[in-house]
Amino acid sequence: MRVLGVDPGLTRCGVGVVDGGLGGRCSLVSVEVVRTPADADIGARLLALDEAFTAAVEAYRPDVVAVERVFSQHNVRTVMGTAQAGAVALVVAARAGVPVALHTPSEVKAAVTGNGRADKAQVTTMVTRLLGLTVAPRPADAADALALAICHLWRGPTQARLAAAQAQGARAVATAQARVQAQVAAQSRARARVPVVR
């Protein structure tokens, strides 16, 4: 499976592509950090991200695009820029017909380091080891994008199977409930037809 990981951001946006499988060895395909000037118009910055994501999807043909799920921070401007960049990645993937997976930062850290509260240095160190790199990916946005891709490679298929099992279970419960309701209704109708003997 090939996963394109996106660590969204307006000024620096990590884009990493990794090949691998569930629990197996991962290999680096590509990593880059897309930069947009902080003083540029927001529309131009988002368009630049759109073009970079589109080029990456077309060049590497990922099976899935994994994007960091935006969470609330104290700095609203940072959250807004992150959310906007993440939304562009989602739109590009949807336009290309590529499935999207969202992963929280703590989920990514736990998958890569075993600790959901790991710092950026720990994530970078583990990404470097897991991919067998001789040089750590820099800046941290690059390592974070690769960590997202690795997280999805290792957890995505399991999450998909769990979701499918939950959906199948919900359908089975609904079918059973419908049968019980039909039986109760049939019994009620049968009782209503029985003549009263006095």
Catalytic residues: 7, 68, 141
DSSP assignment of the chain equals -EEEEEE--SSEEEEEEEE--TTS--EEEEEEEEE--TTS-HHHHHHHHHHHHHHHHHHH--SEEEEEPP---S-HHHHHHHHHHHHHHHHHHHHHT--EEEE-HHHHHHHHHS-TT--HHHHHHHHHHHTT-SS--SSHHHHHHHHHHHHHHHHHHHHHHHHHHHHHHHHHHHHHHHHHHHHHHHHHHHHHHSPPP-
158's tokens: 């399991």
